[in-house]
Amino acid sequence: MPGFCYFPHTEEDIREMLRKIGVDSLDDLNADIPADFVYKGEYDLPDALSEQQVREFFEGLAAKNTTLKVFAGAGAYDHYTPSVIPYITSRSEFLTAYTPYQCEISQGTLRYIFEFQSLVCSLTGLDVANASMYDGPTAAAEAMRMCVASARKKNTVLLSAGLLPNVRKVVETYAKYSGINLEYIALKDCRTSLDSLKALLESGDVAGAIVPGINRLGIIEDLSGFADALHGAGALLAEYCDPSALAVLKTPAEWGADIAVGDAQTLGIPLCYGGPYVGFMACTQAHMRKLPGRIVGEARDSQGRRCFVLTLQAREQHIRREKATSNICSNQSLMALWVTVYLSLMGPQGMKEVNDLSYAGAHYLYDRLLETGKFRKVSDAPFLKEFALEPLVDAKALQNVLCEAGFFGALLTEEGYVTFCVTEKRTKEEIDAMIDVIKEVRE
């Protein structure tokens, strides 16, 4: 074996270790592996590259990227990332993606997770939050499981047809392999229909429902009556929400939700081909025993000093085994830290300003798009930073024209509408420039 400078063990180290345990060679060490399982061919790997060659290879790939002005949302939003965040999160004391294993020795890690949980509670208005989930869609799937675990004998969970398609897909996958029955609540006038929900509740088998706070058409849902209808049927309400928007909208707690989940990408995490993002999950105290994942709690040590511990572990898979609500036993630690730094930096005022700017930009773009005569309104319901219109031009052609002019927008929905999104990063000049391009689009 040639001496690779990044391998921690020298040939001499390896020989010494083998000698110590009384084995002649690495092949002898692996002798217990049945011959059938041992790969016997030659590995089809390219030749090793020098550091400089590796660098050039990846720079070449990166040079193929085109940077577009983002006017798209659909679950991932182009909010600004303050530069202090990568600076703090890349400190060596913090820089690990991993959940704490020797947990109580990592007081600093537990501390920031505790802060993350507290911030999630403050945004959602709910009592208890866990240490984070992988992303929004898997958090929604965990909410589905939590509804079923809480309801004991009921096995149906309702999903709003207004949830993002990727969220629905992931929840459907989890449902399929957990034997849970899913039904869809219809949209009426671009909003999740309370009448449809009530009709579905009549089966008597509904454990809970997952509805968006803002749906995939950008519309702010009116969840009045949802919690009462569900609770009256012995079922839970889980809201899938954009945590950035929660700073200015009614909270899940105010809607009477038992569970809140969502993707915290909107809290300062940049768009990087889909990740890493981070999910969050919170619930009322009544349901905390069914909340999956890690939970950090505040405690006192033997000398009465404030400290942090992993708590309520009897919920978890390593103790509750197959009876646990979930098999998640990790968290998305580094991105949870990222979000914690973002929220600490922005504060309530900063979060309000992000939403005010996004709202103003989105409503300006909405009016200007309608003025072009190439779109029709689909709803008069309120929206925040994202909205849908019915295109009167070919949607694919529109997307292509925008792309060539340096804009990313007009995402197609399953109804054939197109959606646009404006965050605080978009300027009036950029919006006007995109409108000029759209004006030139022919039918």
Partner 1 sequence: MSKIIEGLLYSESHEWVKVEGDIAVIGVTDYAQAEMGDITYVDAPSEGDEFGKGEEFGALESVKASSDMYCPVSGEVVEVNADVVDAPEKVNEDAYGAWIIKVKMSDPDELSALMDAAAYKALTDK
Q: Give the binding site for partner 1 (CB under 8 A).
A: 152-153, 289, 313-315, 319-320, 323
Instruction: In whole angstroms, give the CA distance from residue 174 to residue 180.
Output: 8
- Taking phi first (over 0 means left), then psi (-120 to 50 degrees means alpha), and beta for anything else, what does residue 125 get? left
> Nearer Cβ to partner 1, position 191 or 315?
315
C-beta of 315: minimal distance to partner 1 in Å? 8
Which residues partner with 296 through β-bridges? 310
C-beta of 298: minimal distance to partner 1 in Å? 17
Which alpha helices (H) appear in 202-332, and where do they start and end? Answer: 226-232, 252-255, 317-320
**10 Å Cβ neighbour count for 63?**
7
> Nearer Cβ to partner 1, position 289 or 374?
289
- Which value, to the nearest 10 degrees, does the dihedral of the CA atoms of residues 83, 133, 225, 228 take? -140
Instruction: In whole angstroms, give the CA distance from residue 260 to residue 133.
Output: 12
> Nearer Cβ to partner 1, position 152 or 442?
152
SS3 readout for 73-127: CCCCCCCCCCCHHHHHHCCCCCCCCCCCCCHHHCHHHHHHHHHHHHHHHHHHCCC
Do residues 115 and 129 make contact, with C-beta atoms less than 8 angstroms apart? Answer: no
> Nearer Cβ to partner 1, position 290 or 426?
290
Instruction: In whole angstroms, give the CA distance from residue 118 to residue 133.
Output: 15
C-beta of 205: minimal distance to partner 1 in Å? 15
What is the helix (H) or strand (E) element at residue 240, kind and residue range? Answer: strand 236-240
Do residues 154 and 180 make contact, with C-beta atoms less than 8 angstroms apart? Answer: no
What tokens does 370 get? 């309608």
Looking only at the bridges linking them, the beta strands covering 259-263 and 236-240 are parallel
C-beta of 202: minimal distance to partner 1 in Å? 19
> Nearer Cβ to partner 1, position 49 or 319?
319
> Nearer Cβ to partner 1, position 320 or 352?
320
Do residues 384 and 220 make contact, with C-beta atoms less than 8 angstroms apart? Answer: yes
Could you tell me which residues come within 8 angstroms of residue 146 by beta carbon, excluding any fewer than 6 positions away? 208, 236, 238, 259, 283, 287, 290, 291, 292, 325, 326
> Nearer Cβ to partner 1, position 20 or 153?
153
C-beta of 187: minimal distance to partner 1 in Å? 33
Judged by DSSP in three states, 434 sits in: helix
Amino acid in the structure at residue 375? F
C-beta of 289: minimal distance to partner 1 in Å? 6
C-beta of 319: minimal distance to partner 1 in Å? 5
> Nearer Cβ to partner 1, position 79 or 290?
290
> Nearer Cβ to partner 1, position 69 or 154?
154
HSE, CB side, 13 Å, CA atoms: give it for residue 422.
26
> Nearer Cβ to partner 1, position 151 or 389?
151
C-beta of 198: minimal distance to partner 1 in Å? 22
Which residues partner with 240 through β-bridges? 212, 261
What tokens does 71 get? 């006017």
> Nearer Cβ to partner 1, position 234 or 275?
234
C-beta of 153: minimal distance to partner 1 in Å? 8
C-beta of 178: minimal distance to partner 1 in Å? 17
C-beta of 320: minimal distance to partner 1 in Å? 5
Judged by DSSP in three states, 361 sits in: helix
Do residues 215 and 222 make contact, with C-beta atoms less than 8 angstroms apart? Answer: no
